[in-house]
Amino acid sequence: MTSRTSAQGLALLRSARFARCAASLALRSSAITTARRNNSSLNSPPRIASQCRRQTQVRWHSELSSGSKSKRLMVFLQIKSLSSSPSQDHILIDVREPSEYNAGFIPTAINIPVTSQPDALFLSPEDFEDRFGFEKPPPDKELVFYCKAGVRSSAAAQLAQQQGYDKVAEYRGSWLDWQKKGGGPQ
């Protein structure tokens, strides 16, 4: 092979490589244009792991605005008194799920699970009674919420205030505090 032939072969090889690169680039830009036009993830080229952003979920917790009604926080002795001598002015509400409630609850408490039934206090009195089998708590009573550790009870208290209940209280220590301090299960 002469140097001229090898130079021609090298030039041919370079031009072939150039042609493949150009074709690849043309196909890629065509695919990107098509994907943008269709705006569909099914039509876009696959992403390389380094190009992907990790998606995270953000959970927000918001307190009611400062102009809203406040919640009364109750402690073990107040709840013990309330459960041992029930009053017509207070309704003790366990917002845990029925399986948790059935495993043990504070005496006199009714069960309105906030996780599976968040709309409960927004129901009409008739729909509420159909769903739960007892009367909907009237707005003039103080609703005292508790759960297992205080998180769900806070959410339930906020929902009650949104529904227009003015007298709302929380037992933030909730079931864990009740058991720890010797409150017996029902």
Instruction: Tell me if residue 21 is catalytic.
Output: no
Q: Are 88 and 103 in contact (CB under 8 A)?
A: no
Task: Considering the candidates 82, 112, 114, 147, report the single residue annotated as catalytic.
Answer: 147
Give CA–CA dist 159/122, Å, rounded.
Answer: 9
Concatenated DSSP letters of 143-155: EEEE-SSSHHHHH
Tally the C-alpha atoms within 13 A of residue 12's C-alpha that lie toward its C-beta.
Answer: 6
8-state DSSP, 69: P
Identify the H or E element spanning 23: helix 3-38
8-state DSSP, 99: H
Q: Tell me the catalytic residues.
A: 147
